[in-house]
Chains A and B, each alone.
Chain A
Amino acid sequence: MTALVDLEKYAGVTCTRCRCPLEPTKTEITYLGSVFTVDLPACPSCGMVLVPEELAMGKMLDVEKILEDK
């Protein structure tokens, strides 16, 4: 799931609290015991991660369904 997000699209987005622009960050996501690594926009200061709509409703949803039937 590494290159699934068009990170360019989130270049101008900043963390409201820290005022830092989000940066591509290696992020671990898990579901039902399986672990994946994916590059997601995150705040370099507080670590808040953005899961974009296209990922959540696309590949992530597919993987959730596959894992639920395992």
Chain B
Amino acid sequence: MDQSELRRFEELCIQEEPPWCQASCPLHLDGRALCRSVADGRFAEARRTIEKALPLPEILGRICDAPCMIPCLRARRGGGIALGDQKNMVFSGSLIPKNGRSIAVAGGSLSALAAASDGLRKGFSVTILTFEEPLTLLLALSDRLTPEVVQRELNWLAAVGAVFRPFPADRALDDVASEFEALYIGLDAPGAAAAARGVAPLDPVSLETGHPGLFAGGDSPSFIQRAAEGRRGMISVERFLQGASLHSGREKEGPFETRLFTDISDVAPLPPSPAPPEGYDVAGAKEEAARCLQCQCMECVKRCVYLQEYRGYPKRYAREIYNNLAIVQGSRTSNRMINSCSLCGQCERICPNGFSMRDLCLGARREMVRQNRMPPSAHDFALEDMALSNSTGALLRHAPGREASSYLFFPGCHLAGGSPGTIAPLYDFLRDRIDGVGLWLRCCGAPARWAGREDLFDSAMEELKEQWASMGSPTVITACTGCLDVLRRDALEIEAVSLWTVLKDMPLPPHGPVPGEPMALHDPCTAAEMSDVRAAVRDICSSLGIAMEELPETGERTSCCGFGGLQRNANEPLADRVAAARVEENPRDYLTYCAMCRNLFARAGKRTAHLLDFLFPEAGKDSFDRPYAGCSRQRDDRLALVRALQSSHWMEENRPMEPHESIVLVMDDSVLALLEKRRIVHDTVKRLLFEAERTGASMDRGDGTFIASLRPSLVTYWVEYRPLGDGRYEVLGAWSHRMVVTEGGRRP
């Protein structure tokens, strides 16, 4: 990812845009922060927020005409927040180091004093040239200002170094100005306005006059605008002293339109509690501040457990990922974050600007692979699984007794591994209804794509396309929307359709009873961009007489089950939370049409059925009662399915069993669970035991139990076992590591 790509991503996420109050405030007071502090009763913090933005906080805090109330988002739900009335806070000054530049302001009212205040904060030595008494001018502005308040503000200016001096009435403005490096005239003081006749501001952005170093502004009916022009003038003074441009990059100094998005569709109107004439008391200010909506976007984050996990939002993540990719030496702390996104695309469908974490994370993964920086442990288990599905787990046949296919049924690994029992009846049903349907068991290649392995993905796609062409380029019917998504994106020449759109147009098979109670329908994330498939599923459900409820995020906004993007491989605890959050959205039993979603919801303890469980129920089995199929079960079931179909449908000899496959493992539930958790598949354990027996390489614990190891590729596996005779072994424990033992001994 290069800088410009990072900018492109950053530009799309508007979470860091200011809220409406702040964008419209001429001085950009952070009303959101102010309301939060006031509502929580943290008044010192509120004061700091005001001081940070306002040049004359004591005065402006009381008399600001609050132009922010009109665009304030709350205005659309009851009335704008009364920020002006909340700013009734105390202000205290502090010493600011001087930088040796000597400037002046002319006029003793809001605009000049605001400019002076900003000038002092910038470290200038500021002289305030007065015509009328500042106290008199300021008191005349509003009844809300008392002599004490105004005097406090004036005292602060003096305390931090401002020098008050009457303007020498006998001298011309430019003559006086020549004593200073630059001068700002506040036109809201009558005397200053008179003295400045003929030097009116020529430019609304810089407030420069015809005389270099002389700036003028503050001629506005709005108090806050007068102060804002004082600030603008002082910024011009500073730029003038630095020899910098007076115009460039000043678009956002005054009020501007924010790009922030905040969803208020569910916000109930709440009218303001207006301030009494004497101003809010603490309770009143808190109540009003609590009406603030704390405007922010976070639309995607609210719905994605993964985005919540890292406590930020996409714009920040884009920067973190960019930095992570740029690290040459040191820890790449964002690797796990990059590998944990489920690449489901929900965020880009929700974001008002279409920000895509999927593109960001997938791009980053590909780059990590190219840099040879992808942690080997992140994906290799899934990639091995894919390799198995495309070798001993694969099967490609024309329909029994046929020499050609006009269709190929493609169940996908998850259905083959998670619901092997439905595949034969479903295939028979299709053959019955459609002429010339072949069968194609293999993996679509999604794991390689998700792992960022373009090399593996491309070669898998090439093989897939060759096999498809060898069958006479038939139309592919996929049971899994994930496979369909891959084919539609990356195998454009293959005509691929969803099983659900095919079934929808057929008389349905005779089927068992469906539950009387409604079920909540979960759309798999891969169906989010397939409205035709989602509609077909709903049609089939109503033909079956299934009553459905929609989940809060459904259809194109649906959430992932935690399998997508290999999230579960990279971050299992997170994937468990993702599934848990999804199954908690509705107390009803769930219905879905993705075998992996069903499996993972079952794992999360939710009664979940696959739609095929109702169309092709297994005799005597409750459709909801299938337990979670772990990684070993899925592998074994996939291989067993190939064997079973080969004999039942094509009367073929099965691939001869490998010698280790006849080993029988005996283990209790805790060991089964341990193996599942550590992703040690039973086939590996059998291979290991077979090798240990064959070579005699093992360690004898002297009590009838042994320890042996095997390193089939990148991982060394260890098993603790007790031989029971007749090829049966009790497995007592198993573990693994990736490190390689190189010296001190030879590897077994």
B312 in contact (CB, < 8 A): no
Complex interface: chain B residues within 8 A of A66 (CB): 331
> Shortest Cβ distance from A37 into chain B, in angstroms?
8
Chain A residues, Cβ within 8 Å of B531: none
User: Is B545 interfacial (CB 8 A cutoff)?
Assistant: no
* Also in contact, A42 and B745, with CB within 8 A (given A13-B707, A69-B375): yes
State whether B744 touches A40 (Cβ < 8 A).
yes
Q: Is A2 an interface residue (CB 8 A)?
A: no
CB distance from B437 to the nearest CB of A (A): 45
Considering the complex, give the chain B residue whose CB is closest to the CB of A44.
B745
In contact, A57 and B735 (Cβ under 8 angstroms): yes
Tell whether, in the assembled complex, residue A69 and residue B333 are in contact, meaning their CB atoms are under 8 Å apart: yes
- How far apart sit A25 and B741, CA to CA, in the bound complex (Å)? 12
Known contacts A40-B741, A57-B735, then 11 further A-B pairs from the complex at CB < 8 Å, ordered by chain A residue:
A14-B700, A29-B739, A36-B739, A50-B707, A51-B709, A51-B716, A57-B678, A60-B737, A64-B377, A65-B375, A70-B330
The answer, among B678, B699, B738, for a CB contact under 8 Å with A48, is: B699
Beta-carbon contacts under 8 Å, A6-63 to B: 12-17, 22, 25-32, 35-36, 40, 42-43, 46-51, 53, 56-57, 60-61, 63
- What residues of A have a CB within 8 angstroms of the CB of B515 in the complex? none
The residue of chain B having its C-beta at the shortest distance from the C-beta of A64 within the complex is B738
How far does the Cβ of A59 sit from chain B's closest Cβ, in whole Å?
A: 10
Distance of A22 Cα from B134 Cα, bound (Å): 93
* B376 and A68 contacting across the interface, CB-CB below 8 Å: yes
A6 CB to closest chain B CB (Å) equals: 15
A-B contacts, 24 listed (Cβ < 8 Å):
A14-B699, A14-B702, A15-B700, A16-B699, A16-B700, A17-B696, A17-B698, A28-B743, A30-B739, A35-B742, A40-B744, A40-B745, A48-B699, A48-B745, A48-B747, A49-B741, A50-B707, A53-B718, A57-B737, A61-B737, A65-B375, A65-B377, A68-B375, A69-B375
Q: B376: which A residues are within 8 A, CB to CB?
A: 32, 68
Which residues from chain A contact B699 at a C-beta distance below 8 Å? Answer: 13-16, 22, 48, 50
Nearest CB of chain B from residue A57's CB, rounded to whole Å: 5
Please tell me if the beta carbons of A43 and B375 are within 8 angstroms of each other in the complex: no
Known: A13-B702, A13-B707, A56-B718. A26 touches B737 (CB 8 A): no
Cβ contacts under 8 Å, A26 to chain B: 744
A51 to B710, CA, bound (A): 12
A-B pairs with CB below 8 Å: how many?
A: 111
- Assuming the contacts A63-B739, A64-B377, asked whether A49 and B701 have C-beta atoms less than 8 A apart, the reply is no
Q: Smallest Cβ distance from A19 to chain B, in angstroms?
A: 8
Question: Interface residue count for A (Cβ, 8 Å)?
Answer: 38
Q: Give the CA-CA distance A40 to B738 in the complex, in Å.
A: 16
B interface residue numbers (CB < 8 A to A): 330-333, 335-336, 375-378, 678, 696-702, 706-707, 709, 716, 718, 720, 733, 735-748
Most-contacted residue by chain A among B696, B716, B744 (CB, 10 A): B744
Chain B residues with CB below 8 A from A31, complex form: 738-740
Which residues from chain B contact A56 at a C-beta distance below 8 Å? 718, 735-737
A65 to B377 CA separation, bound complex (whole angstroms): 8
Among all A-B residue pairs, the 4 with the closest Cβ atoms = A27-B744, A47-B745, A68-B375, A28-B743
B377:A68 contact, CB within 8 angstroms: yes
Please, which residues of chain B bring their CB within 8 A of the CB of A30? 739-740, 742
Smallest distance from the beta carbon of A28 to chain B beta carbons, Å? 4
Q: Is the CB of B740 within 8 A of A12?
A: no
Q: Residues of B contacting A25 with CB < 8 Å?
A: 744-745
Which chain A positions have C-beta within 8 A of B740?
Answer: 29-31
CB of A13 within 8 A of CB of B696, answer no
Chain B residues, CB < 8 A from A69: 331-333, 335-336, 375
Knowing A43-B745, A47-B746, A50-B707, the reply to whether A12 touches B701 (Cβ < 8 A) is yes
Contact status of A70 and B332, CB under 8 A, knowing A47-B746, A51-B718: yes
Question: CB-CB < 8 A to A43: which residues of B?
Answer: 745
Q: Are A70 and B331 in contact (CB under 8 A)?
A: yes
Q: B residues within 8 A CB of A50?
A: 699, 707
Closest to B335 in A: A69
Distance in angstroms between the alpha carbons of A59 and B699 in the assembled complex = 22
For A35, the chain B residues whose CB sits under 8 A away are: 742
> With a CB–CB cut-off of 8 A, which chain A residues contact B330?
70
- In this complex, the member of B336, B378, B720, B741 whose beta carbon has the largest number of chain A beta carbons within 10 angstroms is B741
Q: Given A12-B702, A50-B699, verify A68-B335 contact (CB < 8 Å).
A: yes
Q: Are A53 and B733 in contact (CB under 8 A)?
A: yes
Q: Is the CB of B377 within 8 A of A46?
A: no
CA distance A35 to B654 in the complex (A): 46
Q: Which residue of A lies closest to B377 (CB)?
A: A68
- Whether the pair B698, A16 counts as a contact (CB closer than 8 A) is yes
When chains A and B are docked, how far (Å) is the Cα of A31 from the Cα of B706?
27
**Known A-B contacts A12-B702, A53-B735; A28 and B741 likewise in contact (beta carbons under 8 Å):** yes
Give the CA-CA distance A64 to B106 in the complex, in Å: 69
Closest chain A residue to B702, Cβ basis: A12
Contact across chains for A64 and B745 when beta carbons are under 8 A apart: no
> Can you name the residue of chain B whose Cβ is closest to the Cβ of A35?
B742
Q: A68 to B374, alpha carbons, bound, how many Å?
A: 8
Instruction: Report B-chain residues with C-beta under 8 Å of the C-beta of A15.
Output: 699-700
Chain A residues in 8 Å Cβ range of B333: 69
Task: Give the complex CA separation of A40 and B746 in angstroms.
Answer: 12
> Considering the chains assembled together, what is the distance between the CA atoms of A46 and B746 in angstroms?
7
Residues of A within 8 A of B331 (CB): 66, 69-70
Cβ contacts under 8 Å, B738 to chain A: 31, 64
Whether A60 contacts B746 by the Cβ 8 Å rule is no
- Give the complex CA separation of A16 and B738 in angstroms: 25
How far apart are the CA atoms of A47 and B699 in the complex, in Å? 12
